[in-house]
């Protein structure tokens, strides 16, 4: 892949976590309070159905099961666990626990993709997590065990989904738009009955809430997850996940610019560390010319595990 195309792919993929960084502000300023499951469903299901209508492709064969697994990991489990951790933990702690995602991906890539962890990749992940902690962590009371478990499990769920998406690739003739549609729809259908059971009937929505949900479903979810899964198809799993710290960093910037929150020198230093670690996660050895990270059908699945092995050295 030419250098210009690599850079463009990284930048486009980075737009996904940047978009996700606006979720907190939109949720607190526009949406009904205390409805995390309903909000998760409204993010995922309408977005999935819109993309499904655009792609006009349904899974076939084993991909019904694979789409369900990926949808559960990347959406159906991730959204509720993420919201649960945010509600139960003191300010920013959920983001700090969630920032271990790159380290989880490094470990899972060793098992599922045959990529050996390096000291550089582990150190970069630790620096990113430390930088995020400086940005978002605030003094507060005792930690909630359930909240910490939910935050870690949400990070592990998304990390496993990222690595499995990389390992399984896509069926021949199926693009990232259809793959994104399958996962969002499956995840949304998983959340829907849980939201009804736990939170009851949907709340009444005013114009601000409708606008907020439209933004979350279209820009924040449909477009952002399409860019994310497109990036997974073209970059290594570790490169993609090292873009994750952009989400809490964007949230901090949005809070400062739009919500009147202050940024201290310590937070600015944390931003610099986290951003530097993110950049370091993109540098190094790229796949040799002629190698592709595109669709991989089931007959070539085992070969795909070796395809990305040399590339981990870049992190």
List all residues 6 or more positions away from 191 whose beta carbon is below 8 Å from its beta carbon. Answer: 37, 40, 41, 44, 45, 75, 76, 79, 80
Cα separation, 242 vs 257, whole angstroms: 25
Core vs surface per residue 272-301: b (16+ CB within 10 A) or e: ebbeebbebbbebebbeeeeebebbeeeee
| pLDDT at 121 (0 to 100) | 84
57-86 confidence digits (pLDDT tens): 999 999 999 999 999 999 999 988 887 877
In this structure, the number of other CB atoms found within 10 A of the CB of residue 35 comes to 20
Query: Which residues of the chain, if any, have pLDDT below 50?
Result: 284-315
Q: List pLDDT tens digits, range 242-260.
A: 898 888 888 888 888 877 7
Cβ proximity of 245 and 21 under 8 Å: no
Is the distance from CB of 184 to CB of 13 less than 8 angstroms? Answer: no
Is this structure's pTM higher than 0.85? no
Q: List, in sequence order, every beta strand (DSSP E) within 169-223.
A: none
Token duo for residue 132: 């995020």
- Cβ neighbours of residue 272 closer than 8 Å, sequence gap 6 or more: 131
């Amino acid at each position: 892949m030419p250098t210009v195309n690599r850079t463009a792919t990284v930048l486009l993929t980075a737009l996904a976590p940047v978009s996700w960084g606006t979720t907190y502000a939109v949720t607190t300023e526009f949406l009904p309070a205390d409805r995390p499951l309903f909000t998760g469903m409204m993010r995922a299901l309408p977005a999935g159905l819109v993309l499904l209508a655009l792609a006009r492709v349904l899974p076939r064969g084993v991909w019904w099961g694979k789409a369900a697994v990926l949808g559960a990991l990347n959406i159906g489990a991730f959204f509720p666990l993420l919201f649960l951790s945010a509600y139960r933990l003191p300010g920013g702690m959920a983001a700090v626990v969630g920032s271990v995602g790159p380290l989880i991906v490094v470990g899972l890539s060793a098992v599922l993709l045959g990529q050996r962890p390096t000291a550089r990749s582990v150190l970069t992940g630790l620096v990113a997590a430390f930088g995020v902690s400086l940005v978002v962590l605030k003094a507060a009371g005792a930690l909630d065990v359930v909240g910490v478990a939910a935050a870690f499990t949400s990070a592990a769920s998304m990390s496993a989904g990222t690595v499995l998406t990389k390992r399984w690739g896509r069926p021949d003739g199926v693009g990232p738009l259809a793959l994104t549609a399958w996962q969002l729809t499956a995840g949304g259908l998983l959340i829907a009955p849980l939201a009804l059971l736990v939170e009851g009937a949907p709340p009444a929505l005013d114009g601000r809430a409708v606008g907020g949900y439209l933004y979350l479903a279209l820009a924040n979810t449909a477009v952002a997850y399409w860019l994310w899964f497109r990036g997974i198809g073209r970059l290594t799993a570790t490169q993609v996940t090292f873009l994750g710290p952009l989400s809490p960093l964007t949230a901090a910037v949005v809070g400062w610019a739009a919500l009147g929150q202050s940024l201290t020198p310590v937070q600015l230093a944390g931003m610099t560390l986290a951003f530097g670690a993110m950049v370091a996660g993109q540098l190094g050895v790229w796949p040799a010319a002629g190698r592709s990270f595109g669709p991989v059908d089931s007959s070539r699945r085992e070969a795909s595990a070796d395809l990305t092995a040399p590339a981990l050295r870049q992190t």
